[in-house]
Chains A and B, each alone.
Chain A
Amino acid sequence: MTGIIIQSRRSPIALRAGIAPELEPAFSSETKRLASQVDALFRHQRSPTSLEQELLPGKTISERLFDALASAKVLTASVAMHLDRARRDKLFQQLDSLHDLAEWEEGDEPLQQSSFGTFLKAMLTVHPQRQPGLGLSHAGHLIGAWTIDRDHLTIEFLPNDWVRWVLTRYKDNEPRRFAGQTPVSELTEGLAPHRPEHWFSYEGRQRQESPR
């Protein structure tokens, strides 16, 4: 049995015919033709409806918001088989709301695809019972917020599969704050000492709400 070696966080191996540009003059036209045919095989793999947004400088903010939303929804579709339909619909409502032109802050960046990809990875790994409230940083990074009274957990989903988070828990009426910045693959491990089920589960919320 052969098997495939799991890649680490480093970028996955890109499959190409592999003629480096500086070496091209050394190869015969037949070899270059074969390499070009091999590369064409990989280009064929793109779906006929895949979105490739034109990065035109003249795009209006309305067009940029549309593009960002469309791309996020297409990206969600790629993992839709792992998502509950109701959750997906709620997520889309929240994203639509964040990209409402009437509420848009001038100078902000729409949702960055790379940040949204990090968010999806995190949510599909952590599987929180409670969905986060969503926000958007001025750089276009998605923010997930869980709140139980004064206790807060805030996670900013950065590009390239990184997250940074901060949490506040009140004890004896005094805040305790903890923060971290890790690869998304280490998010669960990073939050574990702080009992994230306090925010992620409905039991945690009920415990907070029940009278003492």
Chain B
Amino acid sequence: MAEQPYKRPPITEAVIAIGFGAAMEPGDLNRADSSFAKLYPQHQDARNLNLEFIMPDRPNLAPGTKIRHDVPGHRRSSDDQTQIVIVWPTSFVFSQLAPYPGWDDFFGRFVRDWALWKKVVGYRSISRVGVRYINRIDIPITGNLTHYEEFLNIYPRLPEELGSIFAYAIQTQLPFPEIEGRITINSSSIPSPLLEHASFMFDQDLYKENNIPQNDDGLYNLLNQIHVKKNAVFEACITDRARELFNT
């Protein structure tokens, strides 16, 4: 299959996320952020905030709050906001928004940035490798009903007597035995950003959380394996009618 088989791939975001076993010190995190400044000049502070509400045992008392975690990070992007890097104390997230340039470009950028990251931060034990591709399939409306079954092979199966539906969302978790990993697929109908279209999200998250290769060659091989599987799963879940849409 050609590296980029579609003129207008439906990918809205492609993400590589590397998780680490131990959190970085704030100093290291800030140095890592600074090292990306030339490549990604737009910077925003990021926060991962998790709050807990503590319900009182009597109705006339006010609830309390507790901050379970408040983790600072850095989000950097290109000027057009399509190339993004987010550094957290326990992860390195690398992302590409549409238009998707193809795996060679995307992976090439990752290799470059990963090398820079390691140069600044040094070796850190990798505990999770994940690749996520979020697609949005925009189907032109031709009548009152959009038959998603003509475009997708993954959707809820309902008894005919229930008739048509307003919306759906499904999540599936599959084994990924080739790498001893897992695949989580989310697929749902979503509000369309286009007029006269019905839109469907197809989101694949492929990841490995054990026996992660700790050297670069092993990591790159793993990511390429994941990419091949991602393509196979995507192609299995769409029809030729969807392929026609991506080439018009």
Contacts and interface: CB of A to CB of B under 8 A. Distances in A.
Q: Do chains A and B touch in the complex (CB under 8 A)?
A: yes
B43 to A, nearest CB: 9
Contacts of A42: 169
Interface in B138-197: 138, 141, 144-149, 155, 158, 160, 162-169, 171, 184, 186, 188-191, 193-196
Please classify the interface of chain A as helix (H, G, I), strand (E, B), loop, or mixed, using the class held by over half of its residues: helix
B40 to A, nearest CB: 12
B13 A49 contact: yes
Among B86, B168, B193, the one with the most A-chain Cβ atoms within 10 Å of its Cβ is: B193
Contacts of B75: 49, 51
Top 8 A-B pairs, shortest CB-CB distance: A77-B97, A73-B81, A3-B145, A80-B98, A49-B95, A12-B191, A13-B167, A81-B8
Interface residues of B, number: 61
Interface in B57-96: 75, 77, 79-82, 84, 86, 93, 95
Interface of B: 8-13, 15, 17, 42, 44, 47, 75, 77, 79-82, 84, 86, 93, 95, 97-100, 132, 134, 136, 138, 141, 144-149, 155, 158, 160, 162-169, 171, 184, 186, 188-191, 193-196, 198, 201, 203
A85 interface: yes
A184 interface: yes
B130 to A, nearest CB: 9
Given A5-B164, A47-B134, A185-B196, 16 more contacts: A12-B167, A15-B168, A15-B188, A44-B184, A48-B95, A66-B42, A70-B42, A70-B81, A73-B82, A75-B193, A77-B97, A80-B97, A81-B10, A92-B79, A121-B193, A125-B195
A82 interface: yes
Contact of A4 (B148, B186, B194): B148
A6 to B, nearest CB: 6
A54 B47 CA distance: 9
Contacts of B8: 81-82
Given A15-B169, A45-B188, A78-B98, A3 B147 contact: yes
Q: Which range contains the number of A residues in contact with the other chain?
A: 35 or more
A17 to B, nearest CB: 11
Contact of A44 (B77, B167, B186): B186
Contact of B93 (A15, A49, A89, A92): A49
B144 A120 contact: no
A74 B144 CA distance: 31
Contacts, number: 146
Interface of A: 1-7, 12-13, 15, 41-42, 44-45, 47-49, 51, 54, 66-67, 70, 73-75, 77-83, 85, 88-89, 92, 117, 120-121, 124-125, 184-185
A54 B72 CA distance: 13
Given A73-B80, A81-B10, A2 B164 contact: yes
A80 B96 CA distance: 12
Contacts of A51: 44, 75
Contacts of B144: 5-6
A72 to B, nearest CB: 9
Contacts of A3: 145-149, 164-165
